Amino acid sequence: MSTIPNDAAMPRPAERAEFESALAALRRREKAHTREGDAIAAARRRLPMVEVDPTMELTGADGPVPLLDVFDGRRQLLAYYSMWHAGHAAAQQYEGCTWVTTQVAELCYLHSRDITFAVFCQGPYPESARYREFMGWTMPWYSALPSLDQLLIGRQAGMMHLVCYLRDGDRVFETYWTTRRGVEVMDYSLALMDLTVYGRQEPWEDSPPGWPQRWGGDGSNFRVDGRPAAQWSRLAAGRSDDLTRPLSPQT
């Protein structure tokens, strides 16, 4: 069912030659954008790094886990610090963190580059792991609460973060971190939306007059009928979103 009004404005029709000429001009800008992204990535690889305590404690399925063990033997660790509403029902959990975490489905390519990916939830393990189970996520999952202030030293806990770590034997170093729109690198949905004529359909976008922009930038852009959008398919599949239920074995 379409959510875009039939009378929504559309681009001006043109002949194929004019369309291809305009697209070629845009393509030159796209290529420059790609090259600048490569240059920024090269600068990122040349950042200094800061040593962190490898014994900082997280909570996993079997209890306390030191940061060093989360690497699972690999040299690099990419941790997503997911926000959490402690004690709240599944429908009230963070829509943005549900959105980006849902995109992370296949880890073999990261593993092939010696990278472990894990979610460090900023909430208690039992209820947040039950949410992971409800959503059907399979990535490694930990509660960062025991060491959250140390892990995010100098940063605002309670916000989404992506943090990169490097292991050198038993020593651990932080090499990069980002937050807010920086975590969009986890997503493919918005990148694909950006290719379409109506984009993300959000009010902050620079779009021509009459373009549909019904999706607010206040979190409602990731909710449908009062819930994070990705929850509905799980409910339709018969999964329980009761976060007070016991976890399944090995979760």
Hey, what amino acid is at 156?
A: Q
Fold of 52-186+224-236: Glutaredoxin (3.40.30)
Among 25, 13, 48, smallest CA distance to 175 is for: 48
Determine the Cα–Cα distance for residues 59 and 183; give it in Å rounded to an integer: 23
User: What one-letter code names the amino acid at 187?
Assistant: D
Residue 223: the pLDDT is 84
**pLDDT computed for residue 250 by the predictor:** 62
- Reply yes or no on whether the pLDDT at 204 is more than 80: yes
**In this predicted model, what pLDDT tens digit does every residue of 209-244 receive, in sequence order?**
999 998 887 778 888 888 998 899 999 999 999 898
Residue 132 CA to residue 72 CA, distance in Å, equals: 20
Distant-in-sequence, close-in-space partners of 39: CB < 8 Å, separation ≥ 6: none
Mean pLDDT of the region 160-174: 97
Residue 246 pLDDT exceeds 90: no
- Report domain extents, the chain: 52-186+224-236
- How large is the average pLDDT for residues 199-211? 92
The answer to whether residue 249 scores a pLDDT higher than 80 is: no
Per residue in 11-63, pLDDT tens? Answer: 999 999 999 999 999 999 999 999 999 999 999 999 999 999 999 999 999 99
Phi, psi torsion values for 169, nearest 5 degrees? 65, -120
CA distance linking residue 111 with residue 237, whole number of Å: 30
At 143 the pLDDT is 97
Question: Tell me: the pLDDT tens digits for 88-139?
Answer: 998 889 988 999 999 998 999 999 999 999 999 999 999 999 999 999 999 9
Q: Are 211 and 93 in contact (CB under 8 A)?
A: no
CA angle 61, 66, 72 (to 5 degrees): 75
Residue 247 pLDDT: 85
Q: CB–CB of 136/90 below 8 Å?
A: no
Give the pLDDT score at 217: 76
pLDDT at 251 over 70: no
